[in-house]
Copies of this chain bind each other. A is one copy, B any other.
Amino acid sequence: MARKVAILLGQDFEDSEFKVPYDRLKAEGFEVDIIGREAGEELRGKKGKVTVKATRSIADARPREYDALVIPGGYSPDKLRADERFVRVVREFDALKKPLAAVCHGPQLLITAGLVKGRTLTAWSTIQEDLRQAGANVKDEPVVKDGLWITSRKPEDLEQFADALIAALRS
Protein backbone atom coordinates (compact mmCIF):
# COMPACT_ATOMS: atom_id res chain seq x y z
CA MET A 1 0.00 0.00 0.00
CA ALA A 2 1.33 3.41 -0.98
CA ARG A 3 2.16 5.66 1.90
CA LYS A 4 0.64 9.09 1.98
CA VAL A 5 2.10 12.55 2.45
CA ALA A 6 0.37 15.89 3.11
CA ILE A 7 1.65 19.19 1.71
CA LEU A 8 0.28 22.42 3.23
CA LEU A 9 -0.02 24.98 0.47
CA GLY A 10 -1.28 28.54 0.04
CA GLN A 11 -1.04 31.20 -2.65
CA ASP A 12 2.35 32.49 -3.76
CA PHE A 13 4.33 29.47 -2.61
CA GLU A 14 7.92 29.22 -3.86
CA ASP A 15 7.38 27.21 -7.04
CA SER A 16 10.28 24.78 -6.79
CA GLU A 17 9.80 24.23 -3.06
CA PHE A 18 6.46 22.64 -3.85
CA LYS A 19 7.41 21.00 -7.14
CA VAL A 20 10.71 19.30 -6.28
CA PRO A 21 9.48 17.46 -3.16
CA TYR A 22 6.11 16.70 -4.83
CA ASP A 23 7.73 15.20 -7.94
CA ARG A 24 10.25 13.23 -5.90
CA LEU A 25 7.51 11.81 -3.65
CA LYS A 26 5.32 10.82 -6.62
CA ALA A 27 8.29 9.24 -8.40
CA GLU A 28 8.92 7.15 -5.28
CA GLY A 29 5.32 5.91 -5.29
CA PHE A 30 3.87 7.98 -2.46
CA GLU A 31 0.36 9.38 -2.59
CA VAL A 32 0.39 13.13 -2.01
CA ASP A 33 -2.47 15.35 -0.83
CA ILE A 34 -2.19 19.08 -1.38
CA ILE A 35 -4.04 20.64 1.52
CA GLY A 36 -5.33 24.18 0.97
CA ARG A 37 -8.09 26.40 2.31
CA GLU A 38 -10.63 24.71 0.00
CA ALA A 39 -10.44 21.52 -2.07
CA GLY A 40 -10.14 22.48 -5.74
CA GLU A 41 -8.70 25.93 -5.02
CA GLU A 42 -6.17 26.89 -7.70
CA LEU A 43 -2.83 27.72 -6.06
CA ARG A 44 -0.16 29.62 -7.93
CA GLY A 45 3.55 29.83 -7.28
CA LYS A 46 4.94 33.31 -6.74
CA LYS A 47 7.12 32.98 -9.83
CA GLY A 48 4.14 31.90 -11.94
CA LYS A 49 5.90 28.68 -12.99
CA VAL A 50 3.72 26.19 -11.13
CA THR A 51 -0.05 26.08 -10.70
CA VAL A 52 -1.79 23.27 -8.80
CA LYS A 53 -5.16 22.53 -7.30
CA ALA A 54 -5.64 21.72 -3.65
CA THR A 55 -6.79 18.11 -3.40
CA ARG A 56 -8.20 18.49 0.10
CA SER A 57 -9.49 21.32 2.27
CA ILE A 58 -7.89 22.10 5.60
CA ALA A 59 -11.30 21.50 7.20
CA ASP A 60 -11.10 17.84 6.08
CA ALA A 61 -7.41 17.30 6.84
CA ARG A 62 -6.83 14.33 9.16
CA PRO A 63 -3.17 14.08 10.22
CA ARG A 64 -3.67 10.41 11.18
CA GLU A 65 -4.19 9.55 7.50
CA TYR A 66 -0.69 10.69 6.56
CA ASP A 67 2.84 9.45 7.10
CA ALA A 68 4.54 12.83 6.82
CA LEU A 69 3.88 16.56 6.49
CA VAL A 70 5.67 18.93 4.08
CA ILE A 71 5.58 22.75 4.30
CA PRO A 72 7.01 24.55 1.23
CA GLY A 73 8.17 28.16 1.48
CA GLY A 74 7.59 31.40 -0.39
CA TYR A 75 4.79 33.68 0.81
CA SER A 76 2.50 30.69 1.44
CA PRO A 77 3.49 29.89 5.06
CA ASP A 78 2.84 33.42 6.34
CA LYS A 79 -0.62 33.33 4.72
CA LEU A 80 -1.40 29.86 6.09
CA ARG A 81 -0.41 30.71 9.65
CA ALA A 82 -3.02 33.48 9.69
CA ASP A 83 -5.58 30.63 9.63
CA GLU A 84 -5.71 28.79 12.97
CA ARG A 85 -6.80 25.54 11.27
CA PHE A 86 -3.38 25.16 9.58
CA VAL A 87 -1.61 25.93 12.84
CA ARG A 88 -3.63 23.22 14.63
CA VAL A 89 -2.84 20.64 11.93
CA VAL A 90 0.88 21.37 12.31
CA ARG A 91 0.65 20.88 16.08
CA GLU A 92 -1.23 17.62 15.56
CA PHE A 93 1.43 16.23 13.17
CA ASP A 94 4.11 17.11 15.70
CA ALA A 95 2.19 15.42 18.53
CA LEU A 96 1.66 12.28 16.40
CA LYS A 97 5.44 11.91 16.00
CA LYS A 98 5.40 11.83 12.21
CA PRO A 99 8.11 13.24 9.93
CA LEU A 100 7.63 16.98 9.46
CA ALA A 101 9.62 18.66 6.68
CA ALA A 102 9.69 22.46 6.24
CA VAL A 103 11.80 24.56 3.89
CA CYS A 104 12.62 28.28 3.54
CA HIS A 105 9.73 30.29 5.09
CA GLY A 106 7.95 27.03 6.04
CA PRO A 107 9.22 27.19 9.66
CA GLN A 108 7.14 30.36 10.16
CA LEU A 109 4.24 27.95 10.70
CA LEU A 110 6.28 26.12 13.36
CA ILE A 111 6.89 29.41 15.19
CA THR A 112 3.19 30.28 15.22
CA ALA A 113 2.39 26.75 16.39
CA GLY A 114 4.64 27.43 19.41
CA LEU A 115 6.84 24.43 18.64
CA VAL A 116 10.34 25.79 18.03
CA LYS A 117 11.66 26.59 21.51
CA GLY A 118 14.56 24.25 22.26
CA ARG A 119 14.34 22.54 18.85
CA THR A 120 17.19 22.53 16.34
CA LEU A 121 16.37 23.66 12.83
CA THR A 122 17.15 25.85 9.85
CA ALA A 123 15.12 28.14 7.54
CA TRP A 124 15.42 30.99 5.04
CA SER A 125 18.11 33.40 6.24
CA THR A 126 15.71 36.05 7.58
CA ILE A 127 13.57 33.46 9.37
CA GLN A 128 16.65 32.04 11.10
CA GLU A 129 16.76 35.13 13.31
CA ASP A 130 13.03 34.88 14.11
CA LEU A 131 13.69 31.28 15.16
CA ARG A 132 16.67 32.23 17.33
CA GLN A 133 14.65 34.88 19.12
CA ALA A 134 11.85 32.34 19.64
CA GLY A 135 14.34 30.11 21.48
CA ALA A 136 15.34 27.63 18.76
CA ASN A 137 18.84 26.36 18.06
CA VAL A 138 19.53 27.44 14.50
CA LYS A 139 22.02 25.91 12.09
CA ASP A 140 22.83 27.39 8.71
CA GLU A 141 23.08 24.06 6.86
CA PRO A 142 21.33 22.57 3.78
CA VAL A 143 19.43 19.98 5.83
CA VAL A 144 18.98 19.97 9.59
CA LYS A 145 17.42 16.97 11.32
CA ASP A 146 16.09 17.02 14.87
CA GLY A 147 14.13 13.91 15.74
CA LEU A 148 11.42 13.72 13.08
CA TRP A 149 11.87 17.30 11.90
CA ILE A 150 13.67 17.95 8.63
CA THR A 151 14.34 21.58 7.69
CA SER A 152 16.13 23.28 4.81
CA ARG A 153 16.92 26.86 3.80
CA LYS A 154 16.24 27.51 0.12
CA PRO A 155 15.66 26.13 -3.39
CA GLU A 156 19.32 25.09 -3.71
CA ASP A 157 18.85 22.67 -0.79
CA LEU A 158 15.81 20.91 -2.28
CA GLU A 159 17.36 17.69 -3.56
CA GLN A 160 18.98 17.03 -0.17
CA PHE A 161 15.73 18.03 1.54
CA ALA A 162 13.76 15.53 -0.57
CA ASP A 163 16.42 12.84 0.04
CA ALA A 164 16.09 13.30 3.79
CA LEU A 165 12.27 13.27 3.65
CA ILE A 166 12.15 10.08 1.59
CA ALA A 167 14.72 8.40 3.84
CA ALA A 168 12.57 9.26 6.87
CA LEU A 169 9.46 7.86 5.17
CA ARG A 170 11.29 4.64 4.27
CA SER A 171 12.74 4.06 7.72
Contacts and interface: CB of A to CB of B under 8 A. Distances in A.
Interface of A: 75, 78, 81-82, 108, 111-112, 114, 116-117, 125-126, 129-130, 133-135
Contacts of A126: 78, 81-82, 108, 112
A18 to B, nearest CB: 18
Contacts of A82: 125-126
Contact of A111 (B75, B78, B129): B129
B133 A111 contact: yes
A129 B117 CA distance: 13
24 contacts: A75-B75, A78-B126, A81-B126, A81-B129, A82-B125, A82-B126, A108-B126, A108-B130, A111-B129, A111-B130, A111-B133, A112-B126, A112-B129, A112-B130, A114-B133, A116-B133, A117-B133, A130-B130, A130-B133, A130-B134, A133-B133, A133-B134, A133-B135, A134-B134
